[in-house]
């Protein structure tokens, strides 16, 4: 699955940051990454800042999928493709564009048939209209989820004030 879903589409990464889940510590996983020349970096337990960006994206996708299940019933995996599509084509302030645009250097253009409704297939303009409506609703849910995440992060964030004589640590990264 890893080779078919990741490597074939994106190539071999230089490094992977993950938590210390047993799946990422298995002999198979570690030896596969060594064979591919990938550096494995593990986050510190209970230190979400290390892989906070991916944790935040996962939380947003969970919120989106929960809303989809409540709105349209069914199980979360039935809505995953549409949620993933919506997320990948929504503006992300940290990169100032949608992830799809960042990856492919162009905006995503065409709707795709994601699912069938009941026993019948949706055809033609109705497919486009229904897919567009679903994507718009999911994108709105995404904006709400991102706003909630930002509000939560902002509540925990505080401005630092220093006075003359205070000791501070300075972290300098090589350029």
User: What's the pTM value of the predicted model, to 2 decimals?
Assistant: 0.53
DSSP state of 3: I
Q: Which residues pair with 87 in a beta bridge?
A: none
* Whole-angstrom distance, CA of residue 160 vs CA of residue 158: 6
Domain regions of the chain by residue span: 1-50, 52-157
Report which secondary-structure segment, H or E, holds 137: helix 124-156
Q: Taking the chain, what is the end-to-end CA distance rounded to the nearest angstrom?
A: 36
* Whole-angstrom distance, CA of residue 28 vs CA of residue 13: 17
* Whole-angstrom distance, CA of residue 64 vs CA of residue 84: 9
Rg, the chain, Cα only? 20
Do 99 and 87 meet the contact criterion of CB atoms below 8 Å apart? Answer: yes
Task: Spell out where the chain has E strands.
Answer: 15-18, 39-42
* Per-residue confidence in pLDDT tens, the chain, 175 aa: 888 888 888 888 898 888 788 888 899 989 989 999 999 888 776 665 666 677 777 888 888 888 888 888 888 888 888 888 888 888 887 777 888 888 888 888 755 544 433 334 545 677 667 767 777 777 777 778 778 878 877 887 777 788 899 888 887 877 6
Selection from 20, 2, 13 nearest residue 37 by Cα: 13
**Architecture (CATH level 2) of domain 1-50:** 2-Layer Sandwich (3.30)
* Whole-angstrom distance, CA of residue 91 vs CA of residue 160: 30
């Amino acid at each position: 699955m890893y080779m078919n879903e990741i490597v074939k589409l994106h190539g071999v990464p230089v490094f992977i940051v993950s938590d210390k889940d047993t799946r990422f510590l298995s002999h198979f996983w570690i030896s596969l990454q060594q064979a591919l020349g990938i550096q494995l970096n593990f986050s510190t337990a209970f230190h979400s800042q290390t892989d906070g960006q991916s944790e935040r994206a996962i939380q947003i996708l969970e919120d989106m999928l929960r809303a989809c299940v409540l709105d349209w019933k069914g199980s979360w995996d039935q809505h995953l493709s549409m949620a993933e599509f919506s997320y990948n084509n929504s503006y992300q302030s940290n990169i100032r564009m949608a992830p799809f645009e960042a990856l492919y250097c162009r905006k995503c253009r065409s709707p795709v048939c994601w699912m069938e409704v009941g026993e019948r297939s949706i055809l033609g303009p109705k497919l486009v209209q229904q897919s567009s409506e679903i994507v718009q609703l999911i994108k709105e849910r995404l904006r709400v989820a991102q706003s909630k995440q930002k509000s939560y992060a902002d509540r925990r964030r505080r401005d630092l004030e220093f006075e003359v004589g205070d000791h501070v640590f300075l972290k300098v990264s090589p350029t």
